[in-house]
Amino acid sequence: MADGDGDAPASASRYAKTSTNYNDLPTYPERPSFKDFKNGLRPNSQVVVFDGSPGDPFKPSSMPIYQTSTFVQPSASEFGPYDYTRSGNPTRTALEKHVALLESAYASFAFGTGMSALMTVTRLVKPGEEVIIGEDIYGGMYRLLTNISRHQGIVLVAVDTTNLDLVEAAITPRTKLVHIETPSNPMMHVTDIRRLSAILQSKGVLLSVDATMMSPHLMKPISLGADICVQSATKFFGGHADTMGGFVSVGDANLANQIAFCQNAEGTALGPFDSWLFLRGIKTLAIRIDRAQATAQRIAELLGAHPQVTKVFYPGLKDHPGHELHFSQAKGAGCVLSFTTGNLRFSQRVVDALRLYKLTVSFGSVHSLCEMPCTMSHASVPDEERTLPSDLIRLSIGIEDADDLAEDLVHAFELAASDVPDIIKFKKAEQLLYDSQFQDMPVVPVAPSKL
């Protein structure tokens, strides 16, 4: 495996084995384990150099899509490596192998959405047991835990996970899982994964890290001591805002069997076509993130110096309280940042005035995006429980030209500060929208009679 192709040459025949006993079948399709695997390739090569079908006699350069629901079995008394796509599919296995390779995980599993991945992690917790979460987490996860998991008898405790003394004090004999985001979404709080992992291991508590903001290109939580790493694949893995998915990567066989069992039993696995789209997206993961991250650093510095910005939240800035800690466990600050203006209405006008940044939830796309978390991505968190500033703006930086993105922000602040009453109407009237309608351009073709 030194070449990083994700498979040992001798293992191709292993996948063709059959079993005569249903109970002897593996919990999930067999594949290599990449826990503690030392890849000889550098990160930018790891996302590209991977053969998803090393046993295919036709040697395709791109992993084929096995767009099928069922697989014919060898005989009435034997089972092949695949039988039903809900339980396993070669295209999904290829994706899960590549993700495990990038995460340095024992095994990885692909789900239909990021939320179904998070839901499956909660299945590890039994009624009466406790889950500790960070105070700043994705609104969808908060909704899942408070409105569904609580009704299943799971006890929820929210603490500031940047303060490990508070986390340790919150642990009880019933604590099963601690779930964190680092950096958190959208306030960019940084939690020490190594130290938290050491605390939890001594108490027999699982550590789950949602590392969607980073992707394995920038941070590998399992290598830092986490038991579980969750990724919303919709973001950076896909990278083009055209498919949805989620990954759960784990550090040992017991967790792998539990996650795989739930994935199969609840039917939450990712389909073959979406699996193929993510396999394709991964190939440009590194170059997209590196480009967007460089621009994000520049945008954060621009905002930090802007007189109408009161605070910038981005771990790439040296005055960020978690700057040094973050770079001790990640190799970059990422492509997402947040900032406040000190005035809700002014923040709304800034967002309305932007032309290149698409006003939408989510992040990690090639397009630059903007949103106001309190009314969009985190609106499911009740006002009385929300810890976010109401004027907070979140930006997800894409791969557009850095000068264009910087100029758009500067102009947005100028328009927001003007006396224009309705910015949306003003942009339409002045044709300031990049809507690709090109209404002022001549229309082709021209009728032959008019030539």
Q: What is the pLDDT of residue 19?
A: 64
Q: What is the CA radius of gyration of the chain?
A: 24
Superfamily of domain 286-429: Aspartate Aminotransferase, domain 1 (3.90.1150.10)
Mean predicted confidence (pLDDT) in 177-196 = 97
Q: Could you give the percent of the chain with pLDDT greater than 70?
A: 95
Q: Using CA atoms, how far apart are residues 18 and 13, in angstroms rounded to an integer?
A: 11
Helices (H), 227-339: 253-266, 272-282, 285-304, 323-329
Q: Is the whole model's pTM more than 0.95, yes or no? A: no
Is the Cβ–Cβ distance between 287 and 46 less than 8 Å? no
Is the Cβ–Cβ distance between 284 and 49 less than 8 Å? no
Question: How deeply is 77 buried, as exposed, middle or buried, from its count of CB atoms within 10 A (0-12, 13-18, 19+)?
Answer: exposed
Is the Cβ–Cβ distance between 368 and 395 less than 8 Å? yes
Instruction: Grade residue 450 by pLDDT with cuts at 50, 70 and 90.
Output: confident
Told to judge if 210 belongs to the known catalytic residues of this protein, a careful annotator would answer: yes
Instruction: Grade residue 437 by pLDDT with cuts at 50, 70 and 90.
Output: confident
Q: Using CA atoms, how far apart are residues 41 and 173, in angstroms rounded to an integer?
A: 43
What are 143's two structure tokens? 């909704």
What are 300's two structure tokens? 């954060």
Q: Which of 14, 86, 195, 283 is catalytic?
A: 86
3-state secondary structure of 33: coil
Which amino acid, 290?
D
Q: What is the pLDDT of residue 20?
A: 65
Domain definitions of the chain by residue range: 9-283, 286-429
Is the Cβ–Cβ distance between 215 and 289 less than 8 Å? yes
Instruction: Grade residue 167 by pLDDT with cuts at 50, 70 and 90.
Output: very high
User: For tokens 């073709």, what's the residue?
Assistant: 445
Average pLDDT of the chain to the nearest whole number: 93
Q: What is the pLDDT of residue 12?
A: 39
What are 65's two structure tokens? 């899509």
Q: How far apart are the first and last CA of the chain?
A: 65
pLDDT greater than 80 at residue 24: no
Q: What is the pLDDT of residue 18?
A: 60
Mean predicted confidence (pLDDT) in 59-72 = 96
Instruction: Grade residue 375 by pLDDT with cuts at 50, 70 and 90.
Output: confident
What are 445's two structure tokens? 């073709």
| Lateral strand order in the sheet of 369-371 | 311-313, 336-340, 393-396, 369-371, 358-359
Q: Which of 51, 192, 210, 408 is catalytic?
A: 210
Q: What is the pLDDT of residue 435?
A: 84
Q: What is the pLDDT of residue 337?
A: 98
State which H helix or E strand residue 336 sits in: strand 336-340
Strands (DSSP E) found in 160-214: 175-181, 206-210
Q: Which of 92, 97, 220, 235 is catalytic?
A: 235
pLDDT greater than 60 at residue 113: yes
Told to judge if 192 belongs to the known catalytic residues of this protein, a careful annotator would answer: no
Q: Could you give the percent of the chain with pLDDT greater than 90?
A: 84
Instruction: Grade residue 288 by pLDDT with cuts at 50, 70 and 90.
Output: very high
Asked if CATH classification 2.40.50.100 holds for the domain at 9-283, the reply, yes or no, is: no
pLDDT greater than 60 at residue 158: yes
Told to judge if 235 belongs to the known catalytic residues of this protein, a careful annotator would answer: yes
Told to judge if 311 belongs to the known catalytic residues of this protein, a careful annotator would answer: no
Q: Three-state SS string across 169-228, please?
A: HHCCCCEEEEEEECCCCCCCCCCCHHHHHHHHHHHCCEEEEECCCCCCCCCCHHHHCCCE
Omega cis (within 30) before 382 = no
Is the Cβ–Cβ distance between 164 and 177 less than 8 Å? no
